[in-house]
């Protein structure tokens, strides 16, 4: 698996949204917060920097999204700064 998400993510307000086909065929809608991108993933808040942060950390973002989905969290699955501080 070698497909960055920055190219398919859509910015809504200051957060980024994308869909992911999880194992088992489920489609998961994932939202990555602005605070997560800036504080945990070293984006400077610009669109270009946000996309670069999404691409650099996409495996971890998707893993967090799948874990939350499998735990029963409602969609969109929100990936927050705190998810990277554990």
Does any domain span residue 6? no
Does any domain span residue 14? no
Residue 46, helix vs strand vs coil: coil
How many other CB atoms are there within 10 angstroms of residue 23's CB atom? 7
Does any domain span residue 9? no
- pTM beyond 0.75: yes
Number of separate domains in the chain: 1
Q: What is the pLDDT of residues 9-25, one digit of tens each?
A: 999 999 999 999 988 88
Position 1 confidence tier, pLDDT thresholds 50, 70, 90: very low
How many other CB atoms are there within 10 angstroms of residue 82's CB atom? 12
Residue 3 has what pLDDT?
57
Q: Is 80 exceeded by the pLDDT of residue 85?
A: yes
Distances (CA, A) of 56 to 3, 6, 75: 11, 9, 23
**What domain range is 31 assigned to?**
27-84
Does any domain span residue 2? no
Whole-number average pLDDT of the chain: 91
Exposed/middle/buried for 75, CB within 10 Å: 0-12, 13-18, 19+? middle
Question: Bridge-partner residues for 78, per DSSP?
Answer: 31
């Amino acid at each position: 698996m070698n497909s960055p998400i920055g190219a398919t993510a859509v910015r809504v307000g200051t957060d980024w949204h994308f869909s992911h086909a999880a194992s088992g065929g489920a489609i998961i809608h994932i939202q990555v917060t602005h605070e997560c991108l800036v504080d945990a993933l070293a984006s400077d808040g610009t669109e270009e920097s946000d996309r670069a942060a999404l691409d650099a950390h996409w495996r971890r973002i998707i893993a967090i999204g799948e874990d939350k989905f499998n735990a029963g969290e409602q969609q969109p699955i929100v990936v927050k700064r705190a998810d990277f501080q554990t």
